[in-house]
Structure 1
Amino acid sequence: MAVQNLKPNVISSSSIHYADLIKSVRDKNLKSLLARKKLHLVLDLDNTLLHSSTMLKLTKYDRDYLQRSVGVKLIEEKKLFQWNFQRNDSVTCLPARGRNDHWVTKLRPNVETFLKEASAVFEFSIFTLGTCKYARKMLDLLDPEGLYFAHSQVITREDIRSKPLKKGLDLVWAHERVVLVVDDLKEVWKDDNAKSVIKIAPYEFFDDESSNKKSWSRNWADESEKYGELARVLRELKKIHKEFYNVEEGQDDYESRDVRDAIEEVKRKFFLQGTKEGMSKHAQETINEIDECFKSMGLNCRTNGPNVILQTNHMVM
């Protein structure tokens, strides 16, 4: 899979020329995004889209899990992978004790649907504190056919020059006003990029003996595809995208808009639901939906008879 990046020492020895080039790339990217009514989404890898561990660090619970039918099934379904850096193909059988170059990776539930639906309204880039070699391997697992990341920018720890390592949108090829970030760690981003970050709860499939929290594997369970974090975040991203491209009074000057304002507006509308005005509007929408449901069954939910009573005294989210 081809992944792309730009480095100033490759393009020009002049940082001024590099800055001009980046601005030119961002300007072209902005026009392309707006013309297609898309935004730019920066995705983290570890604990956001997947969870990886070296075989050496796996607990006895996880080793047992991999040997059981449930673990074998996940491998067969290509939701769980055993691999190493010495081979291009995945490894299906590894020594019991494992080695530091032998890894196991579990894809987060719903990740395929997330990428498919999000790609309709977003262009992707990857920003990870892992190595470039590791990032390439993860993209091979996430997107083996190259449907989503074949032409994406991939930013890794090798591209960051600050100490300690901090992620920053200054390395991304898109203008900040059209960039959203999904990451399980907000604190790894520079402070001035915090408003662009949509935080997702960390996905921790494999066991961690240093934590009191039981992992998904220890519970012999997994995050829900329908109600899990990727499904929730996808809904939020769609709301933000809709708000950004919302046309009011015929105004469609998208170049002057900022996605961070769209984020704040979506938050405002969410909190508005807790007010009397918001609850009233939401309740009416809910009643209308119930009306349509009953009508489809040939019933009238507003009948004041003794057997049909409709009372709404709480907000349905």
Structure 2
Amino acid sequence: MRRENTADVLKEKKLILVLDLDNTLLHSVEDGSLSSEDEYLIQLREFVEDDRDRSVFRWSGMVTKLRPRVRAFLKQASAMYDMYVYTMGSREYASQMTEFLDPEGVYFKNKVLSREDCTAPNQKGLDVVLGEERAVVIIDDSRTVWRRHTRNQIEIKAYHFFGPKRPILDFDGNPLSDTEELESKHSALDNALGYLKRIHWLFFRGARYHDNSDGDVRRVLLRIADEMQQE
């Protein structure tokens, strides 16, 4: 099934992308841990954002902030990749976060994985993804949970909104800190998208991969790493 599904995905000129949730696409904390300043930041967001741009959500004793530009990232990545979500959170948490990110079920549909799907303690694994490892790219802020698949991973800088490293906004909801201003204008997700485009192009380029039978994203990622070291 993994081989057949990989072949179907490759025929559409797509690869498979596995995305972490916490600190990669969003930041969640317990509602009770919020300071008065955190509450102020949430109120500012709720005031300046309409339903279409909504980025802060409260649910079941938690509060979640989506990473800046995450919706644009998902839209562009979906044109090149068949996407999964994989979190060490519970299945209920994964389902709710996915609904915040993809309320119309355009990107993930039933491709949502949680800690209940893990086949090794405290480790995520591609054995539960319906695709061959040679066609799978992972984006996660942690390498420790992907020890079996480090060659498939792009490590992204962790995103934090609440707590001591949170951004400070003015009364109009504009970021005052350099960190959040940079994140809003050029998110780490933009950098990741650049890698994804490069990987996709290298994998499918030229006659060598006309049937995709010998393509392997792990070789592509290694080549990109070598190119970066030479720059």
TM-score normalized by structure 1? 0.66
Aligned partners of 1:189, 1:267: CA distance in 2, in Å?
Answer: 18
Deviation at 1:267, TM superposition (A): 2.3
Task: Extract unaligned runs of 5+ from structure 1.
Answer: 1-24, 85-101, 209-213, 275-317
Deviation at 1:75, TM superposition (A): 6.5
Aligned counterpart for 1:72 among listed residues 47, 50, 64: 47
Aligned counterpart for 2:223 among listed residues 265, 282, 306: 265
Alignment RMSD: 1.9
Total equivalences in the alignment: 222
The aligned amino acid for 1:268 is D
CA 1:197–1:251 in 2, change beyond 3 Å: closer, same or farther? closer
**Where does residue 5 of structure 2 map in the other structure?**
29
Is residue 113 of structure 1 aligned with residue 72 of structure 2? yes
Deviation at 1:220, TM superposition (A): 4.9
The aligned amino acid for 1:53 is V
3-state DSSP class of the match of 2:143?
coil
Does structure 2 conserve the Cα–Cα contact (< 8 Å) formed by 1:75 and 1:81? Answer: no
CA 1:225–1:245 in 2, change beyond 3 Å: closer, same or farther? farther
3-state DSSP class of the match of 1:198?
strand
Aligned partners of 2:23, 2:157: CA distance in 1, in Å?
Answer: 8
**Where does residue 154 of structure 2 map in the other structure?**
198
CA 1:251–1:33 in 2, change beyond 3 Å: closer, same or farther? closer
Deviation at 1:71, TM superposition (A): 4.5
Aligned partners of 1:207, 1:251: CA distance in 2, in Å?
Answer: 47
The aligned amino acid for 1:185 is S
In the TM superposition, what are the counterparts of 1:162-181 in structure 2 within 5 Å?
162-163=120-121, 165-181=122-138
Aligned partners of 1:148, 1:269: CA distance in 2, in Å?
Answer: 31
Is residue 124 of structure 1 aligned with residue 68 of structure 2? no
Q: Which runs of 4+ in 1 moved over 4 A?
A: 217-221
Does structure 1 conserve the Cα–Cα contact (< 8 Å) formed by 2:161 and 2:167? Answer: yes
* 1:89-115 Cα shifts (integer Å, max 9, x gaps): xxxxxxxxxxxxx22111111111100
Aligned counterpart for 2:113 among listed residues 155, 178, 181: 155
Does structure 1 conserve the Cα–Cα contact (< 8 Å) formed by 2:89 and 2:114? Answer: yes
Alignment identity in percent? 37
Select between 251-260 and 229-238 the one with higher mean Cα deviation. 251-260
Deviation at 1:83, TM superposition (A): 2.1
3-state DSSP class of the match of 1:188?
helix
Deviation at 1:224, TM superposition (A): 2.6
* Greater RCO (CA < 8 Å, at least 6 residues apart): 2
Aligned partners of 1:263, 1:104: CA distance in 2, in Å?
Answer: 35
CA 1:136–1:106 in 2, change beyond 3 Å: closer, same or farther? same
Does structure 2 conserve the Cα–Cα contact (< 8 Å) formed by 1:45 and 1:126? Answer: yes
Does structure 2 conserve the Cα–Cα contact (< 8 Å) formed by 1:131 and 1:158? Answer: yes
Aligned counterpart for 2:26 among listed residues 46, 50, 53: 50
CA 1:70–1:27 in 2, change beyond 3 Å: closer, same or farther? closer
Aligned counterpart for 2:187 among listed residues 228, 232, 244: 228
Aligned partners of 1:258, 1:109: CA distance in 2, in Å?
Answer: 31
Does structure 1 conserve the Cα–Cα contact (< 8 Å) formed by 2:125 and 2:146? Answer: yes
CA 1:251–1:201 in 2, change beyond 3 Å: closer, same or farther? closer
Larger CA Rg, structure 1 vs 2: 1
Aligned partners of 1:197, 1:251: CA distance in 2, in Å?
Answer: 22
CA 1:138–1:70 in 2, change beyond 3 Å: closer, same or farther? closer
**Where does residue 245 of structure 1 map in the other structure?**
204
Task: Extract unaligned runs of 5+ from structure 2.
Answer: 170-174
TM-score normalized by structure 2? 0.88
